[in-house]
Structure 1
């Protein structure tokens, strides 16, 4: 199994797992490799170093040090993907009916549950004025498929 560090044209970074380098090239040529964040198929392989597992505690930063608190773009992206996966797995997709269904839940005309869907800025503002909490979270393209 080959694990490659990949990046799309928008510089979203992610890992790709392939049976071989040839399998990666073949899938890339057939348009089967795409960014899990934006769906871009302009993917390139990044240089990578061998992975070294060091058990020495000297290699790890202290828990409260600035080095431990720093979040790289890759870590932030991974957190965003985990959150998107959690939202998808724990909410009902009501699509364009989001504002209507949120109101039904708020007024106890529908079962209380987490929902996700699409609302205009105006609809979101109206819901907020009615005391209905909503937040916007951009879901990755193709989020109905397994997220990396």
Structure 2
């Protein structure tokens, strides 16, 4: 079997499988090959990009430990910068996030703690929340 990328007279490109190159030529000559989008039978082979498989025993290069560390430090820095404008609400997070969502509390940037069950309930209710990538030390526990 052989696969060809084909193009009709209207510019539609599609893929078709044939038993051989000769089978394609024979079917094209007899008008058996047509564009599946518009039915045009003016068909030519389109330019194909070859697919060259990677060597079976090769692996993509893994990022270096230094690159991973640098990426994590950058992410932690972004989180710290974001939290500068956010208020720690501790274990009251779920209640306060829900209240803001319902309009019974003013909207503000907050962060705090929520149990897995509380977090799932907030998501199910449509409250816009997201976990932080790094743990946050409560302000009273910071040395």
Q: Indicate the structure (1 or 2) with the bigger Cα radius of gyration.
A: 2
**Structure with the larger RCO, 1 or 2 (CA within 8 Å, 6+ apart):** 1
User: Given the two structures, how large is their TM-score scaled by the length of structure 1?
Assistant: 0.45
